[in-house]
A and B are shown apart, each in its own frame.
Chain A
Amino acid sequence: MKSLFDRLRGSVRWRCWLQHVLIACLCAPVLQAQAAMPAQERLSIVVSICTDPGSYRSAMDRVVQVVVGTSPEDADWGKTFLERLQAVALICREQGGPVFKVEHGHVDAVTLEPVTDAVDELPMVPTLVLARLLKNSQAETELFSPDVLTRRAAAQRMSQAYAQINEPLVRLALSKAADAEVMETLELTLAKRSLASESADLRVGAIRAMGSAPSEGTRTLLKNYQEDRPDMGPGERAALTQSLSQINRVLWVGKAASIIFSGLSYAGVLLITALGLSIVFGLLGVINLAHGEFIMIGAYATFVVEKWLQAHAPGWFDAYVFLAIPFAFVVCALIGMVLEMTIIRHLYKRPLETLLATWAVSIALIKLVQILFGSQNVEFITPSFLQGGVQLYPALFVTWNRVFAIALALVIFAAAYALIRHTRFGLLIRATTQRRDTARALGIPAPSIDRMAFGLGSGLAGLAGVVLTQIASVNPSMGTSFVIDAFMVVVLGGAGSLVGTAVSSLVLGEVNQLIEPFYGAVAAKVAVLLLIVLIIQRRPQGLFALKTRG
């Protein structure tokens, strides 16, 4: 298990590294020009703003390059410059260099050193043209902000002012963007810019380029373009038709792949929630309605680990998901074993009573967690390596947290399968399930095997809780919605069959996500339920019925 996680993290690091190299290459031409910018350069920017309206554009571009450049002092200066200019605080003097008005007195516009001599001129009020340029430049710098919402807003601004943007800079931002929305907006911005060009050749080129870079945005853009220009030339029209059909084809494939992927990720969640239940229900015959609450406890255990790391080892914060895995497992397994010892043990021959008893346990656990942690949703900070995702294909954006859920579900499934099929403990569990009396006659301590199997099932539920912290909202009553789905999976797959659980969660996940985009979530749930009832008509014991002799 450990080596696998190491590999996972390795690949994540590798991704970051690649990104850095890519950015470095793309930035090189832009950045070289202003490495260690001399004061002369700063002065020339300020002076051209002060004196020459014709050079506003180039001056603003230079400032933006300074801000997004490598040198932090220069970046600070650039930011201050933009901010002061917007605040109407740049004073261009006849004698002496330009200064910024600050809260107490004035500072030199180039060095930002305080200025002692008296300043009696009025600050410069930006013209309308300059104000618009300023806004754009501000947005251009914000394209590189660490805050994703700021970046999205900036990208929107770029899209509105597509005619005036600084193209190389937008391309640079595009290469650095990790957010799907920002990426798409910026791509659109560039496409719009080319479409609006005067030259027909350029436009055809843009149309062709858009055809080979399909997305929902380019499709809308081209469709609008088609409607807006009924008088376009035959060459352009042919290119447009071709591009549109190309986009449609690619998007259809992407959409299909995206539905399959979301089905997979839903299947991963189902598998991981149903796995523990399958063991408890299938092998022990216990209807554990408190299973959902074990999932919830696993999620809260993750929350505790997260908070602890935040307080005591912030450097290791991102690893909380991995640290929480053993912790949640142990906590849930222990609670499960205590539950088995005190209550379930007395009810093995009466499955309907276990149902009521575990329901009672579940309401008590929900209330307990409500009292301890409050009843509102708990906020989790996603580890940096699970943030964002990758655009695998047009219209197929794969988020890392979903990939993580699928991967972890598979790992846990493999581990549970190996445990049941290939270890001594698994052998004992199977023996006790299939022929309890014979197993006991052979000296297998059936009661303690029951207890450990119940602990295993509960622990697996705890692991499901860890995964769900990354993709679902965590609150004390989160378990109730998962437990019913998990039971459906087990009923369809056949109680006690781990392979059956995997297959049925895959089927249910895919069917659900296939219906949901077209008819809504409720219809999908109802359809899945009907499907199960229909299948159970044919196979009352589930798809993969376990052959036991009681």
Chain B
Amino acid sequence: MPTAAISLRPSFRISSQLGLPALLVCVALVLPLFNAVFPPGHPLHLSLFVVNLVGQIMCFALLALALDFVWGLLGVLSLGHGIFFGIGGYVMGFHLLNSAYADTQVLPDFMQFMGWSTFPAALQPFAELPVAVLLGLMMAVLVGGVVGLAAFRSRINGVYFSIITQALTYALMLLLFNNDLGLGGNNGLTGFTLLAGFDLAHESTQVGLASLSAVVLAAVFFLLRWLALSSFGQAMVAVRDDEARLRFLGFRTDRIKLAAWCLSAAVAALAGMLYVPQVGIINPGIVSPMLSVEIAVWVAIGGRGTLIGAVLGAVILNCLKFWLSAEIPSAWPFVLAGITLLITVALQNGLWGGLQQLRALRATA
């Protein structure tokens, strides 16, 4: 597919990018190996804390990947990906509440505070894990579809779209903070015990989840990259670069955008579903406008439109965040602000783009 290579950035040449999925699969294998094989105290032993952290970062990378797919390739900056992440997270929370209730026969605390005596019927459809996952993806696609349909049909784009999605995130957060909604309000959902019959408190379950996250990330990366290189991906890039021209040529650009947008929403929901059992809680903070902007910052720092840059940005920023928040908590906002400013002002294409430029320079020299 030589034509694809022409219209996409050089970073999309096929040969250059098979490395990341391979690396991720390695991570997926290394985690249980180093955690289980080497005993605690051994220098190569990975503690549960580290494994858990790696798992969380994989979820964030997945989220960044979802955003880069629509921002980098389609030119649609969403400041509302937290909505889909939150939908996935809450649906997984519903499922875990179901299994916890089936396990312990004790109603979750917040339901007792609400004065409920039985498990609410509205949450019972989420009792089976495959059904719950399917429902979560469908809900994310549905919400994304409605938002996307309203926005793309009336040609709301650019910053207007960003602002509207940010406001939607804010509205959803306020809604979830509401105790009367019956979703735990401020405290969110917690008290999970079992996932698909595995004990969540057990170390091996958490290691398994972290490995699963890495594998899912690799698979999704592979899928999205394949899509980006297909004719659909070409159409997306064309929409990004000159939507009006594509429309005049007879393409239904709103459908292209809607399809990509819904897929991105589903990926973000998947990230939320993997994230919740690993942290053991889901609360409205996950849909704060703050987090949604932060996702965009990861992508921008890594380099947008490259997919691999999104993963890179999410991993680097989150590693830095976990490390700095533990070491010097008050410095983190300044460091984040500094990096963001530096990248936006000086290094437009992000770290990965910078690397590409460097490589190109060296090739010409």
Contacts and interface: CB of A to CB of B under 8 A. Distances in A.
Interface stretch (A18-26, A160-168, A353-361): A353-361
Nearest to B341: A360
Interface in B160-179: 160, 162-164, 166-168, 170-171, 174-175, 177-178
B166 A359 contact: no
Interface stretch (A40-48, A430-438, A522-530): A522-530
A201 to B, nearest CB: 50
Interface stretch (A87-95, A173-181, A330-338, A344-352): A344-352
Which of A359, A361, A487, A533 has the most CB atoms of chain B within a 10 A radius of its CB? A359
Contacts of B160: 491, 536, 540
B171 A525 contact: yes
Given A343-B345, A533-B150, A364 B156 contact: no
A356 B175 contact: no
B204 interface: no
Contact of B150 (A361, A480, A521, A537): A537
B300 to A, nearest CB: 5
Contact of B297 (A360, A361, A480): A360
B175 A522 contact: yes
Interface string A252-291: 0000000000000000000000000000000000010100
B43 to A, nearest CB: 36
Interface string A350-378: 11110111011101101100010000000
A336 to B, nearest CB: 16
B341 A352 contact: no
B350 to A, nearest CB: 11
Given A343-B341, A359-B293, A525-B174, A367 B154 contact: no
Interface residues of A, number: 37
A182 interface: no
A374 B126 CA distance: 44
A487 B289 CA distance: 13
A287 B344 contact: no
A533 B300 CA distance: 27
Interface string B321-357: 0000000001001101110110011001000000000
A487 B167 contact: yes
Nearest to B334: A364
A491 B163 contact: yes
Nearest to A363: B333
B314 to A, nearest CB: 15
A97 B340 CA distance: 84
Contacts of B155: 540
A484 interface: yes
Contacts of B177: 522
Contacts of A529: 167-168, 171
Contacts of B79: 355
A542 B181 CA distance: 33
Interface in A507-550: 520-522, 525-526, 529, 532-533, 536-538, 540
Given A367-B333, A371-B330, A522-B175, A357 B344 contact: yes
Interface in B123-167: 150-151, 153-156, 158-160, 162-164, 166-167
A484 B170 contact: yes
A355 B296 CA distance: 10
A466 interface: no
Contact of A357 (B159, B168, B333, B345): B345
Given A360-B336, A366-B333, A540 B156 contact: yes
A287 B163 contact: yes
B77 interface: yes
A357 B166 contact: no
Nearest to A364: B337
A396 interface: no
B290 interface: yes
A359 B297 contact: yes
B238 to A, nearest CB: 19
A48 to B, nearest CB: 59
A350 B158 CA distance: 10
Nearest to A534: B150
Given A287-B159, A357-B341, A360-B341, A484 B167 contact: yes
B293 A351 contact: no
B192 to A, nearest CB: 27
B254 to A, nearest CB: 13
Contact of A487 (B166, B334, B345): B166
A218 B289 CA distance: 46
A351 B340 contact: no
Nearest to A345: B345
A522 B345 CA distance: 37
Contacts of B164: 491, 532-533, 536
A154 interface: no
Contacts of B175: 522, 526
A350 B77 CA distance: 12
A488 interface: yes
B171 A526 contact: yes
B166 A484 contact: yes
A333 to B, nearest CB: 21
A118 to B, nearest CB: 66
A343 B177 CA distance: 36
Given A360-B341, A371-B330, A480 B290 contact: yes
Contacts of A353: 300, 344, 348
Nearest to B147: A533
11 contacts: A346-B345, A352-B77, A353-B344, A356-B344, A359-B297, A367-B330, A367-B334, A484-B166, A487-B167, A529-B171, A533-B151
Interface of B: 77, 79, 150-151, 153-156, 158-160, 162-164, 166-168, 170-171, 174-175, 177-178, 289-290, 293, 296-297, 300, 330, 333-334, 336-338, 340-341, 344-345, 348
5 closest A-B pairs by CB: A360-B340, A364-B337, A367-B333, A360-B337, A537-B154
Given A287-B162, A526-B174, A533-B151, 11 more contacts: A347-B345, A360-B336, A361-B337, A366-B333, A367-B333, A480-B289, A484-B170, A525-B171, A526-B171, A529-B168, A538-B154
